[in-house]
Structure 1
């Protein structure tokens, strides 16, 4: 089967920027109290009930943070370059190359799934099966946490982190993401929309927490 162009572009772009991305964002969480608060709530709710997947983990900065909060966490990313960067930064954690659309994880294999700004490069029309895949790998009672930029538009990105790249990023409405979760059989527990924090953020940011019944 031919790979969709958006998947190839996303992988190539993140392979290109992997090292500079990892360096530039290395300490970003230290300046993001909202992010830490939401991730902390997710970690407290999931606890030690089972493994957690950081799905679209990039260089593993949040994988490492969740591990520091006591979670049994591993990372998956589409980009081999990002996975290499994550393995170097966090040699004690497991990272694998993989796709959110077809995860190599058993049904009900996770107590928690983090999709932190990792849904934003998939066209919205293609997101229902991706969210259904995230729901599939959650155990009953397991939780999904997503983060994304708020909006309705597609942005064509041609430069990032000091490199020329080619990929799309989509801003999403919280109601739309909530509807995707409900359609996948999840119960939306919370949603938060906050104002942007300069210099990296230009638009409001959203977090959505959902639970698999059971």
Structure 2
């Protein structure tokens, strides 16, 4: 019998996502996805159905379904003789994800800005202030996601749902390369400029700022990964 993968020990400690009640398969997928995003399940980690089922106290059937879900989302790949493993990260994947996110947030901002209330804008400003005081990368990324969603909420759930998924993918890449709040001041200055454009109702200006803000971050990460592989 093969030994249990040590990377799966963290599964029982990861929280289940909020919102509506999840099916068992969705719960398993949520826990695994969070483990991948947080770097607890690294690239290439084997996700053996029997180990995951034992850790989460579920049967293998919902685990199998969860792995299919994660495979369709790009978090997991199936390899010969190894089964399901956490997908590796390539520079092209990073650039594509960040560019998709930039395009999506630009489209969402165009719809959202006319509908942003003073309360929403104050909430976004508060999130920026909290990001300034973030003491860890985990705290910063959590607040960062909330900030971007706060500005695009007016576009509706379909937009914010897709943006949320793309931010999760982006965060996985960020966690692979960042251990500190690198370029924090520059990034925060860009956030404040975007927020100010939203507050003034300058849609084209906000769109012109948020696109490079996201896409260039992806380029920087991809170049870092390329230099390590060279």
* TM-score, structure 2 normalization: 0.26
| Larger helix proportion of the pair | 2
Which has more radius of gyration?
Answer: 2
